[in-house]
Structure 1
Amino acid sequence: MYNVPADFINEKKIWETIEQNLNPEPERIREVLAKAAEMKGLNMADVAVLTCISDPEMLGELFNTANTVKETIYGKRLVLFAPLYISNLCSNECSYCAFRTTNKEIVRTVLPQEHIAREVKELIGQGHKRVLLVAGESYPKQGFQYVLDSIKTVYDVKTEHGEIRRVNVNVAPLAKDEFRQLKDAGIGTYQIFQETYHRETYSKVHLGGKKRDYNWRVWALHRAMEAGIDDVGIGVLFGLFDYRFEILAMMQHINELEEKFGVGPHTISVPRLEPATNSDIASHPPFPVSDIDFRKIVAIFRLAVPYTGIIMSTRETAKMRRETFALGVSQISAGSKTNPGGYEEEDEISGQFSLGDHRKLDEVIRDVASMGYIPSFCTACYRMGRTGQDFMDLAKPGDIRLHCAPNALSSFKEYLQNFASPETIEVGNKLITDSISGMSGLAKQRAEKLVKRVESGKDDVYC
């Protein structure tokens, strides 16, 4: 099945939908925005309409609607994580990536388990509670077992400052039995990017290695979900092809997963091409995405799939990251390094791509909190089994906020007490007080109780 063409990505249908919805009248745009405000999602024609917005007034209405939907569902929470690169070995030849197999300008590194443990200790010492484990698409002599061993190492590290409570994974597409092993290893979310859904472009930028097989990659989330992984992450690399096409193709992929499994992706990532060592295409994207269009992409996804998390990485500058919080972003990386061993010894030349935001975790948290957003290190849903369809059953009627808001505040308080600088403590404690004051009912009762438990010296409390 998984070597046959993925007919759920229908390029002809995508172009027809774009053509049929070019130059929409303001009335049509407002009709779509009114539908989006109901937080039941949008169809492909609706999404195509939103991709055509260029008028400043209409853009303002799009952004305001996205902000309303984001805050209604997620409140002021922003979940934080860090990528953990364990290897930059790769057997693929992806023209946009520094890890590609023929690139001789980077130092190839495979972290032994003891070095991974040191990296994890460094991240824990900064205050992180969740990591995204990343590896190039080739492994040392242990093969895929290297990834499984690395996950175990991350979970096994315990320090006086705590431990990593959730490991998400971004590795090469796997066979179904390997996905089962990944599930048994206790991962949170399995994340994979198609890079581009446009088949011709895909073949042009993937010049060698197993990644040349478009179908094997695009069917990966089917295999993962059939293997029991109900939280999956999806994404494309914006700049390789027309962003309108990529958005609608991703909507087709999401619709396919929802139809087959009853639930779509847990997260969507929206990376743009950034410079990478010895890669001309990375520095000169064939379809560059402007800052205003990038903000539009975030807002459209928030309205199209309102209950799906949107991830913003440190590829983007601090300024751009701030601007997207209000448009739909719900998760951000912070203090990131993209080379193996980078938390112990940074080597940006050997990283996967250039970073736009180089700030340390504490500085990012202080900035986020000063904007009124609550930095969350919560991992309760994963540990309580609120994943996949169970999560959506709580999210869509709004019940998940009775858990998320209190847990965000208690995990933030834990960070402030154990890791934060004096400046961040001052900003953070005021935000917690103000946030609880603005709450009511059961959510407020839970928040007060959990924060008091943390203040009394108890870590890792959640509901």
Structure 2
Amino acid sequence: MSFYEVIEKYKDFDFDSYFEDVTDNDVLRSMAKDKLNHEDVLNLLSPRARKHLEAMAQKASKLAIQYCGKTTCLYTPIYIANYCENHCVYCGYNCHSGIKRKKLNLEEVRKERDCVADKGFKHIIVLTGESEIKSSIEYIGDAVEILSEKFPSIGIEVYPMEVEGYKHLVSKGADSLTVYQETYDEEVYKKVHIKGPKANYRFRLDAPERGAKAGMRSLSIGALLGLSDFRRDSFFSILHGEYLKTKYPHIELAYSAPRMRPFKGSFHDIVDVDDATEFQILTVMRLFDPHAALNVSSRETLDMRKHLMPLGITKLSAGVSTDVGGHSQGEHDTAQFKTNDDNSIEEVANMLKSIGYQHVFKDWERF
């Protein structure tokens, strides 16, 4: 069974009616369980559950301490290209956005590598726009190989590939894959992805599984909250993680719940996701899978990330530049979006220390 078939089981499910019918007893019954089923996930994502969020968070925090401790790994993204062939109405990289296009040559990749390594980072994520023509698999592989000389863990967030493409990147040193489905609602997906390779809903949906087959150690998934019904998207994000962990038990699974960050002239039909809802979604992710990694990027403010930490946030970005070559070349007009906070390593470290947490740069060794 593919994950698409899992989603199809809910094709005629009335989420709105279900959420309206959830009672306090439903929430309390689900919250009391050690192992949540799909119905429990819906109950805890419901508007009714907001009344019980403090109790939910306390349970999630206990699980986080038990399974994750009080340590989080700091990472930073490295953008090596921003050429894109897609017309996605919400994204600053879309082919009609008018931003300055740039692609680092391999010598510039080395300079970016050295600049980031000098700051202490050991975990990075490599990003490009979605253009295989401008950023070929071979080019990304060459960049990963250069970066692997100084970073023991390299994630990639690029266009979806076939298994062989991912195998090539694994052979060059990539060990983790991030693919956000953006929205699991296929009809909304079609409306916001007007043209380009990304318009293929099924190909993107199956990309994390192809990464697992190719040998990726870690998979990061999630929806871009605000494009569609965020409760429905969060529900399917959780089910997607369950599907991947059940089929590929060796992988490290990371959930993320990024919220929309608009750019000038972008998509305006955004569904508002307030701070309490973001907190609720990540709480349910922790309750559903105490072993999962949770990743919160600088799309969120430092204060928000401080309040999320007790849920067991195991991955935090710091020292972020969303510009191509932004760490070493001082670019300011090639970004996909602007971060909510430009937090330095020191600012993030001080925040963690203030609440009794510590950061590490390295939690994985390549052999």
Instruction: Give your verdict on TM over 0.5.
Output: yes
Deviation at 1:165, TM superposition (A): 2.0
Return closer, same or farther for 1:187/1:142 CA change in 2, 3 Å cut-off: closer
The answer as to whether partners of 1:254 and 1:265 remain within 8 angstroms in 2 is no
Identity of aligned residues (%): 29
RMSD: 2.2
Work out whether 1:47 is the aligned partner of 2:41.
yes
The residue number in structure 2 matching 1:287 is 271
Deviation at 1:25, TM superposition (A): 3.1
Return closer, same or farther for 1:72/1:151 CA change in 2, 3 Å cut-off: same
The answer as to whether partners of 2:83 and 2:134 remain within 8 angstroms in 1 is no
Of Structure 1 and Structure 2, the greater helix share is in 1
Deviation at 1:45, TM superposition (A): 0.4
For 1:247, the aligned partner's letter is S
Work out whether 1:251 is the aligned partner of 2:234.
no
Deviation at 1:278, TM superposition (A): 3.0
What secondary structure, in the 3-state scheme, does the structure 1 residue paired with 2:237 have? helix
Counterparts of 1:11 and 1:122, CA distance in 2: 48
Return closer, same or farther for 1:75/1:178 CA change in 2, 3 Å cut-off: same
For 1:73, the aligned partner's letter is Y
Work out whether 1:272 is the aligned partner of 2:259.
yes
Alignment of 1:64-213 (within 5 A): 64-104=58-98, 106-139=99-132, 143-156=136-149, 163-213=150-200
Return closer, same or farther for 1:140/1:342 CA change in 2, 3 Å cut-off: farther
Counterparts of 1:139 and 1:87, CA distance in 2: 11
Deviation at 1:223, TM superposition (A): 1.6
Return closer, same or farther for 1:202/1:149 CA change in 2, 3 Å cut-off: same
Return closer, same or farther for 1:55/1:214 CA change in 2, 3 Å cut-off: closer
Length, aligned pairs only:
367
Deviation at 1:383, TM superposition (A): 2.7
Return closer, same or farther for 1:102/1:55 CA change in 2, 3 Å cut-off: closer
Counterparts of 2:291 and 2:351, CA distance in 1: 25
Return closer, same or farther for 1:305/1:13 CA change in 2, 3 Å cut-off: farther
What secondary structure, in the 3-state scheme, does the structure 1 residue paired with 2:259 have? coil
TM-score by structure 1 length? 0.75
TM-score by structure 2 length? 0.93
Larger of the two Rg values belongs to structure: 1
The answer as to whether partners of 1:170 and 1:190 remain within 8 angstroms in 2 is yes
The answer as to whether partners of 1:92 and 1:209 remain within 8 angstroms in 2 is yes
Deviation at 1:29, TM superposition (A): 1.8
For each residue in 1:86-128, what CA deviation from the matched residue of structure 2 results, as whole angstroms up to 9, or x when unmatched? 0001111111111111121x11000011111111111112111
Return closer, same or farther for 1:228/1:56 CA change in 2, 3 Å cut-off: closer
Counterparts of 2:21 and 2:242, CA distance in 1: 25
Deviation at 1:253, TM superposition (A): 1.9
The answer as to whether partners of 1:66 and 1:302 remain within 8 angstroms in 2 is yes
Among 299, 304, 326, the alignment partner of 2:283 is 299
Among 6, 10, 13, the alignment partner of 1:12 is 10
Of Structure 1 and Structure 2, the greater strand share is in 2
What secondary structure, in the 3-state scheme, does the structure 2 residue paired with 1:96 have? coil
What secondary structure, in the 3-state scheme, does the structure 2 residue paired with 1:48 have? helix
